[in-house]
Structure formats: structure tokens, C-alpha cells
Amino acid sequence: LWPFRVSPTLPNSAVSAMHSSGCPQPYREAADRMQHVTTIRPAPNKVLLSTAYMTWGAALLGLRDAQGADQMLAKSIEINPTTSAGYDLWADVKRQKGDIPAAERLHRRALENSVLFENYAEVATLWFKLAWQNNAPLSRNQFSNPGPGRD
């Protein structure tokens, strides 16, 4: 999981990426941080705010709260409907809930959005997929728009 934490040295709830291990405590800490980032001092940038909700959703999914994760991903997409990573993570949530048609629809939307790839502020999810399962290997995000000479 790549949770964000509020940096006390940066204004407006600026967030910085921090990698954590796969045990439940970091998921809880990440969820708590994202609640703070999104409600107490929300980021003024819609992509950062959307990414915070996406990270909150991944943390909740890691805590096995698929319903809460579903709500956070819906909010993330509402804020930034051009995200690829958000739609793909939301597809994971739907798969966990057993809603395969919705998961497939959301995954297709993620692929469609990947051609709009101007969401570079999603730095934490730009190259790596958010891991929500314990001991999940770090995997490359499939929406990094690889092209000729760029693997």
C-alpha cells in the first residue's frame, strides 16, 4: 500500500508518498491519514484529493472493508473522473464484492481513460498499482502508457 501522510511542513494538506508493509496496522494508519487529508485539511488540487480518496479506499480494502472501499473509490472518481488507476482499483473492489459485470465495466473505463493520461499528480499510482493484499508483490501499473522504447 502507498498511503499518504500529511506533511506538517507543507501547507494545504500537501501529501507525500510513503511505502508501508502489508500488516493491518499500516492499513489502519493509512485510512486514518486519508480521513484527515480529505476532511480536516483537504488538498486544494482535485487530483491530489482524488488520489487521497483512492488511497483511503485501498487501505479499507486491505482492512477487508469492501463496502467502505467502494464508497471511497466512488468519491475519488466523482472528484477526478479521468483517472485510470482509480477506475481499476474500483474494479478490484467490485470483484471482491462479487460484482463481476461492474468490475469489467470499470476496468474498461480505466483502459479508456489511459489515453487521457495527463493525471501526473497521481504520482504514487503512476508507476505502481496500489497493493491492498498482505504480502502482495509490488506490481507495475498497467496504465503508464508504455510505447516504443518505453517498457
Mean pLDDT, rounded, for 43-71: 91
Could you read off the pLDDT of 120-145 as tens digits, one per residue?
A: 545 555 556 666 777 777 676 665 54
- Interacting residues of 35 by C-beta distance below 8 A, sequence separation 6+: 56
pTM: 0.65
Tell me whether residue 100 is exposed, middle or buried, using C-beta atoms within 10 angstroms of its C-beta: 0 to 12, 13 to 18, 19 or more: exposed
Angstrom CA distances, 4 to 14, 94, 123, 144, 146, stand at: 9, 23, 11, 20, 26
Mean pLDDT, rounded, for 101-115: 92
Could you read off the pLDDT of 21-36 as tens digits, one per residue?
A: 345 688 999 899 899 8
More confident residue, 75 or 16: 75
| Cα–Cα nearest to 79, from 43, 34, 35 | 43
pLDDT for res 2:
33
Mean pLDDT, rounded, for 108-121: 74
pLDDT for res 99:
97
Mean pLDDT, rounded, for 86-99: 94
Q: Using a CB cutoff of 8 Å and minimum separation of 24, what contacts does 14-21 make?
A: 14/43, 14/48, 15/43, 15/48, 15/51, 15/52, 17/123, 17/124
